[in-house]
Amino acid sequence: MARHDPELKKDLDATLQTRKELGPEYESELVESFLTKLDEDVDRRVRRHLAEQQMQVARGAQPPRAPAAGTEFWQRFAIVVVSLVLAIPLSAIAVANAGLVGLTVCWVGILGVNAAHGLAQRSPAARRTEADRG
């Protein structure tokens, strides 16, 4: 993490110190309180980022561009190659530890990763076309 919010770090330190003093029975309340502060901090950062983008658009600045069309092919190709390369040792480990069931679970996981990546990389136009059909 490159940037640290000093206020959030102080809150975390205070929460940890309070937990030491109060004991584990108050842990869930302390964690909930800290997570609420963290959530508010994330919301504030997102709102600020969106406001900055709106200001840039209002000034006529160009919004960030999507990656070039050719890069999508190479991203898909890379995930397939990496999946197949990792499938060899993963398959061996799965068979050695759990037999055919382990191998089946291993390959279902590999296929799941590739399917999730493929679905996430589809263009918005393709998603709209499929939504119109369904």
CA dihedral of residues 92, 94, 100, 102 (deg, nearest 10): -160
Q: So what's the pLDDT on residue 107?
A: 92
pLDDT tens for the 134 residues of the chain, in order: 346 678 878 888 888 888 888 888 888 888 888 888 888 888 888 888 888 888 888 887 665 565 566 677 788 888 888 888 888 888 999 999 999 999 999 999 988 888 888 887 666 665 566 666 65
Q: So what's the pLDDT on residue 1?
A: 38
Q: So what's the pLDDT on residue 133?
A: 64
Secondary structure of 85-114 in the HEC alphabet? HHHHHHHHHHHHHHHHHHHHHHHHHHHHHH
Token pair recorded at residue 97 = 């530890």
Give the span between the Cα atoms of 52 and 122, in whole angstroms.
28
Q: What is the pTM of this model?
A: 0.41
